[in-house]
Amino acid sequence: MASSRNLFEEFEREAFRLETLDNYNIPRGSDDLRAFLAGEEQPESYRQSSWVTTVREATTSGKRMYRVHVLARPLTDYLRFELDWGYHRNAAAGEEFFILDTTDQPNPLMGVPDFWLFDDAIVNVMHYDETAAFTGSEILADDRTAEFIAYRDTALAQAEPFVDWWAKHGT
């Protein structure tokens, strides 16, 4: 299921992510989540993660990295953490964020899995178990690409920029 390719080094123009879960069970992030919930300062190690380096290198070389998170309020503790600490941190490195808030509207992407779409050509679907722990990913066949481009376009058409959404609904 998992791919040995480093798609974040290979993509040439843009990398899009659709996030659909209210929680991501990321063991290495549990200390950061605990610190956030306790009202502590964001640790320097969190601000300078390898992901931030990946984003910064891509965006400073002219590549676009962006994502839409489909969610409904009230936010879970994890989503409050991800949006407040994670999205603000990653945005400073150049990643763009959008929110598709389904609190007062039907979810147009119900049942669509989390995925990355690279250069409108490669779809990498993310798999999670019942505890929301990442279990691997798979690159889909080329004949599925148009389907996931349509998912991305639907998400973007109904989402709003994170900064605007956060100004109205953030903590």
Residue 10 has pLDDT above 60, yes or no: yes
Burial letters for 17-41: b for 16+ Cβ neighbours within 10 Å, e otherwise?
bbbbbbbbeeeebeebbebbeeeee
- The dotted CATH code for 7-169 is 3.30.870
Residue extents of the structural domains in the chain: 7-169
Residue 95 has pLDDT above 90, yes or no: yes
pLDDT at position 171 is 66
Residue 163 has pLDDT above 80, yes or no: yes
The closest alpha carbon to 63, from 118, 126, 19, 18, belongs to 118
Summarised one tens digit per residue, pLDDT across range 116-153 is 999 999 999 999 999 999 999 999 999 999 999 999 99
For the entire predicted model, the pTM comes to 0.93
